[in-house]
Amino acid sequence: MKKILSDTVKKEERDRLPPGQHWIQYPLIYDIVDRLPDWDMDRYRFKVWGEVENPLKLKYRELLELPSARLVADFHCVTRWSVKEIEWEGVPTREILELVKPTRKAKFVFVYCLEGYTTNMPLEFFAKEDSLLAYKMFGEVLPKEHGYPLRLVVPQLYAWKSAKYVWGIELRESDKAGYWEERGYHMLGDPWKEQRYWGD
């Protein structure tokens, strides 16, 4: 299986923490709802549509059959904690993009989650080499609270862009604010540039 090391993991220790962050041991669980419903996996479909030549619709077990990779990446939450070297396994976003073939108009991605959460980012960041649609964390099936069945992991942006419980990816010509972005968070969210809130 392909192994991907996120850029920051390769950095010197002193260059590894984005500005205004501190290290903690394990990611704190953040959810916009108090209680997660049980997902009906017989009905679960992962879909990609919008500015693509071949829209995609897959069952969970079909996702598991796609080319996969193991990723080791640091994780940076906008509330100022960071966690070193989380291990994920799943489908590189580049594999998905090869299947769907974005049109020339595709510039942004809008992500839909099972409990109603959404987030957005430029296609360029979704398509980074270390961006992954993860179904495992530290070698185990994703724990429900960390995103089962599928989690987008985008190590180069703040953690609120790493959407849990993902079912849909829409490729778009224009950007559109997701859940936190509508509430003032940055449309890009690069931790190295401290893009916490829109206007930073």
Interaction mask 76-95, ligand MTE, x per CB under 6 A:
-x------------------
* Using rule CB under 5 A, residue 100 touches Mo ion: no
Beta strands in 9-155 (DSSP E): 22-23, 46-50, 56-58, 69-76, 81-92, 108-113, 118-122, 132-137, 140-141, 151-153
| 185 scored as a contact of Mo ion (CB under 5 A) | no
Residue with tokens 């595709």: 106
Contact present, 33 and 100 (Cβ < 8 Å): no
- Pairing mode of beta strands 166-172, 108-113: antiparallel
48 lines the binding site for Mo ion (CB under 5 A)? no
160 binds Mo ion (CB under 5 A): yes
| Residue 96: closest CA among 114, 113, 109 | 109
Q: Show the site string, 135-174: x = touches ligand MTE by CB under 6 A, - = not.
A: -----------xx-----------xx-xxxx---------
Eight-class DSSP state of 189: -
Q: How many residues bind ligand MTE (CB under 6 A)?
A: 18
- Contact positions with ligand MTE (CB under 6 A) in 95-114: 113
Residue ranges in contact with Mo ion by CB under 5 A: 77, 159-160
Which parts of this chain interact with ligand MTE (CB under 6 A)?
27-32, 77, 113, 115, 117, 146-147, 159-160, 162-165
